[in-house]
């Protein structure tokens, strides 16, 4: 079965609001941040809302096992600054506590950036962060995301992720692959089977627990990380479909993080979400060349 959704908000009505938003897109899963992705302020979880959310999910065939949480991207697990290092460990632990309380099984984490340090040092800091995080007996998994290589981002090659995964060697550590990031990091998604077999050889394909499905605004190996709507970027519709429907990734949640229609220069002026229409395109395997006008018509 195709398990597909998008990132959704987590606001005043918490998980209940996230579920409602996912349902409005015709999704059967979703990804959320437990607070704003760019800050670390977190509100108190309301168990009554969680119970309502779980009931609504049951009624709409959304399996909590397929729901993904995303850690805020401002924590840097690779940092060599001792305060930032401590902060990342504690913050990630807190996020795992919140996931456990919500019943969410997988949390995506960016491996971080090598700021004022070598990539080797950054790798050992990521390993140390994860080892300390895994000292707590949480149940939620951590999925390291494959990154585009913007600035000094870590986790841009399978080999780099392998170093971390081998050293931490924990059953709760997995991987989330992101199609835009793979493209921007230099992997040709036309050769996706090759990527997967290499991944399987180095890390083990069973470690892939989530796929972020995004087109890219930039050419291969650009190290930019700017997402584009499905079929409107340099990766293209057919290539993205091959990733989504790859039999080796069957039953793994596919999450869209594509830009809103009407979006402004800095990806900030968000207007209308594209997800309902992009999910339709992917389910029907038919490219919609009126995507943006259809979205506007629907929401206006
Ligand atoms: Fe991410
Ligand atoms: Fe992503
Ligand atoms: Zn990205």
pLDDT digits (tens, 9 = 90+) for 264-295: 656 556 689 999 999 999 999 999 999 999 99
Q: What whole-number percentage of the chain has pLDDT above 90?
A: 91
How many CB atoms are located within 10 Å of the residue 263 CB?
A: 16
pLDDT digits (tens, 9 = 90+) for 89-137: 999 999 999 999 999 999 999 999 999 999 999 999 999 999 999 999 9
**Is 136 within 8 Å of 99 (Cβ atoms)?**
no
What pLDDT is stored for residue 195 in this prediction?
Answer: 98
What pLDDT is stored for residue 262 in this prediction?
Answer: 80
CA 18 to ligand 2 center in whole angstroms:
18
The token pair that represents 153 in the structure block: 């981002």
| Strand, helix or coil for residue 37 | coil
CA 56 to ligand 3 center in whole angstroms:
30
Class at the top of the CATH hierarchy for domain 4-299: alpha beta
| H runs (alpha helix) in the chain | 14-24, 47-59, 82-102, 119-133, 158-168, 179-185, 192-202, 237-244, 275-284, 291-299
| Strand, helix or coil for residue 152 | coil
**Is 121 within 8 Å of 82 (Cβ atoms)?**
no
Ligand nearest to the CA of 37: 1
> Does pLDDT of 172 surpass 80?
yes
* HEC-encoded secondary structure of 171-187: CCEEEEEEHHHHHHHCC
Task: Give residue 42's pLDDT band: very low, low, confident or very high (50, 70, 90).
Answer: confident
- CA 170 – CA 109 distance, rounded (Å): 15
Mean pLDDT value across the chain? 95
Task: Give residue 37's pLDDT band: very low, low, confident or very high (50, 70, 90).
Answer: confident
> Does pLDDT of 246 surpass 90?
yes
The token pair that represents 130 in the structure block: 């994860």
- Tell me the CA distances in angstroms from 61 to 104, 153, 196, 254, one per residue in order: 15, 37, 29, 16
CA 70 to ligand 1 center in whole angstroms:
7
CA 145 to ligand 2 center in whole angstroms:
7
- Tell me the CA distances in angstroms from 100 to 78, 105, 137, 173, one per residue in order: 24, 7, 10, 15
Task: Give residue 39's pLDDT band: very low, low, confident or very high (50, 70, 90).
Answer: confident
CA 181 to ligand 1 center in whole angstroms:
9
> Does pLDDT of 68 surpass 60?
yes
**Is 154 within 8 Å of 111 (Cβ atoms)?**
yes
> Does pLDDT of 3 surpass 90?
yes
At residue 280, φ and ψ (nearest 5 deg) are -55, -45
The predicted model gives 145-172 an average pLDDT of: 98
What pLDDT is stored for residue 204 in this prediction?
Answer: 98
> Does pLDDT of 192 surpass 60?
yes
Taking each helix axis from N to C end, the angle separating 82-102 and 47-59, rounded to the nearest 10 degrees, works out to 60
How wide is the angle at C-alpha 292 spanned by C-alphas 286 and 298, nearest 5°? 95
Task: Give residue 36's pLDDT band: very low, low, confident or very high (50, 70, 90).
Answer: confident
> Does pLDDT of 143 surpass 80?
yes
- CA 224 – CA 226 distance, rounded (Å): 6
- CA 75 – CA 109 distance, rounded (Å): 9
Largest CA distance in the chain: 51
- Cα–Cα nearest to 126, from 102, 147, 140, 150: 147
Which pTM was predicted? 0.96
pLDDT digits (tens, 9 = 90+) for 175-187: 999 999 999 999 9
Ligand nearest to the CA of 73: 1
CA 41 to ligand 2 center in whole angstroms:
21
What pLDDT is stored for residue 268 in this prediction?
Answer: 57
> Does pLDDT of 240 surpass 60?
yes
At residue 99, φ and ψ (nearest 5 deg) are -60, -45
- β-strand partners of 228: 215
Residues with CB under 5 A from ligand 2 (ion): 178, 212
CA 225 to ligand 3 center in whole angstroms:
5
Domain extents in the chain? 4-299
Please identify which residue in the block is written with the tokens 């493209």: 183
**Is 32 within 8 Å of 8 (Cβ atoms)?**
yes
Q: What is the DSSP letter of 257?
A: -
């Amino acid at each position: 079965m195709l398990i597909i959704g998008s990132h959704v908000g987590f606001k005043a009505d918490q998980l209940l609001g996230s579920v409602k938003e996912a349902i409005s897109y015709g999704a059967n899963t979703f990804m959320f941040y437990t607070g704003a992705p760019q800050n670390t302020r977190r509100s108190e979880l309301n168990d009554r809302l969680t119970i309502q959310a779980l009931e609504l999910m049951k009624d709409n065939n959304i399996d909590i096992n397929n729901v993904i949480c995303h850690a805020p991207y401002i924590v840097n697990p690779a940092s060599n600054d001792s305060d930032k290092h401590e902060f990342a460990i504690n913050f990630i632990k807190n996020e795992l506590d919140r996931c456990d309380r919500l019943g969410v099984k997988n949390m995506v984490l960016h491996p971080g950036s090598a700021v004022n340090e070598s990539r080797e040092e950054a790798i050992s800091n990521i390993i140390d962060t994860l080892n300390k995080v895994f000292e707590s007996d949480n149940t939620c998994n951590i999925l390291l995301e494959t990154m585009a290589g913007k600035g000094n981002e870590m986790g841009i090659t399978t080999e780099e992720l392998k170093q971390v995964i081998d050293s931490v060697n924990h059953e709760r550590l997995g991987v989330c692959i992101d199609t835009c990031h793979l493209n921007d990091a230099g992997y040709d998604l036309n050769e996706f089977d090759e990527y997967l077999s290499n991944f399987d050889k180095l890390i083990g394909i069973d470690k892939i627990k989530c796929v972020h499905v995004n087109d890219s605004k930039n050419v291969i190996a650009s190290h930019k990380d700017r997402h584009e709507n499905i079929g409107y970027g340099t990766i293209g519709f057919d290539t993205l479909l091959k990733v989504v429907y790859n039999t080796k990734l069957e039953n793994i949640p596919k999450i869209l993080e594509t830009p809103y229609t009407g979006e402004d220069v800095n990806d900030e002026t968000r207007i209308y979400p594209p997800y309902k229409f992009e999910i339709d395109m992917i389910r029907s395997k038919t490219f919609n060349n009126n995507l943006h006008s259809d979205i506007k018509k629907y929401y206006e």
